[in-house]
Amino acid sequence: MTYSFKDKKVFITGAARGIGRATALAFANAGAIVGVNDINPVGIDTTIELIEAAGGKATAYMADIANKLSLQSVMYDFIRDAGGIDILINNAAVEASSDFLKTDEFEWNRTMDVNVKAAFLATQTAARAMKDTGGGAVVNVASTSGQMRGLPNRVAYVTSKTALIGLTKATAEALAGYNIRVNAVCPGIIRTEPIEQVMKGTDLLDKWQADIPQGELGKPEDVAAAILYLASDSAQYLTGQTLNVDGGKVMR
């Protein structure tokens, strides 16, 4: 299924690679005006090159979204440059891995700042503009790890993704009256760089695949397709929902 996002103004965090890049490409291919954020300038340049090579349009908005002023400043730049904002994708995240007993305050705070606080601030900044132009859509990229048994070495990450699902519901309630919908996707195990790194030299791929009813890991494009659906007018009557994109790993 393809959707038209012709001239829709879409801002995506963490678009220098992986799911964020695939989502930026998918929106641009569907005609959107895309603002791509990240802290990785080389990766963002590649994302923009790929979009332009496919005939689309995108502009870089570099910022560490854990910093409130940096985040708001690039979002205001995007809103000014594009003439508004219709869709926000809160995708950027960090995922540190450490034994719970050794997890320090820095890891906890950084994880919460990037994965939760930035989504709160970005949603608030976008919503203030969206309410004046008739509404919009926000999609948060959470994780199935926010919905199933915890992961022992990712306490901060799992907590942050569970919080992001809570933020999705709370902001969906708060913004429904402005015709702003807020939903979340929960990727399962998707073949992006962090996952390839974890699998390297292990038998994890076989183990993980055996636990997925559809028998294989997902692709960034699988998640992008779900994000586009939730952001599209086809999902007009959906808000506060989480959609698992995981080959059936979690069924509720």
Q: Is residue 226 a contact residue for ligand NAD (CB under 6 A)?
A: no
Among 32, 48, 58, 65, binds ligand NAD (CB under 6 A): 65
By C-beta, is 148 or 238 nearer to ligand NAD? 148
Taking residues 172 to 211 in sequence order and writing x for each that binds ligand NAD by CB under 6 A, - otherwise, the string is: ---------------x-xx-xxxx----------------
By C-beta, is 150 or 194 nearer to ligand NAD? 194
- CA angle (109, 21, 98) in 5-degree steps: 30
By C-beta, is 33 or 71 nearer to ligand NAD? 71
Sign of CA dihedral 36, 120, 139, 66: positive
Tokens matching residue 67: 């910093």
CA distances from 169 to 36, 46, 84, 121, 173 (A): 25, 34, 24, 15, 6
Residue 220 beta carbon to ligand NAD: minimum distance, rounded to whole angstroms: 6
Q: First CA to last CA across the chain, in angstroms?
A: 25
Tell me phi and psi for residue 74, to 5 degrees.
-70, -30
Taking residues 94 to 123 in sequence order and writing x for each that binds ligand NAD by CB under 6 A, - otherwise, the string is: xx------------------x---------
Q: Which residues are catalytic?
A: 157
Neighbour tally for 6: CB within 10 Å: 9
Among 29, 31, 40, 68, binds ligand NAD (CB under 6 A): 40
| Pair 17, 43: CB distance under 8 Å | yes
Residue 194 beta carbon to ligand NAD: minimum distance, rounded to whole angstroms: 5
Q: Which helix (H) or strand (E) holds 33?
A: strand 33-38
In the numeric block, the tokens 């952001």 are attached to: 231
Q: Is residue 38 a contact residue for ligand NAD (CB under 6 A)?
A: yes
By C-beta, is 103 or 147 nearer to ligand NAD? 147
By C-beta, is 114 or 130 nearer to ligand NAD? 114
Count the residues of the shown chain that bind ligand NAD, applying the rule CB under 6 A: 30
Q: Is residue 225 a contact residue for ligand NAD (CB under 6 A)?
A: no
| Pair 239, 182: CB distance under 8 Å | yes
- CA angle (112, 115, 116) in 5-degree steps: 65
Residues that bind ligand NAD (CB under 6 A): 13-14, 16-20, 37-40, 43, 64-66, 91-95, 114, 141, 143, 187, 189-190, 192-195
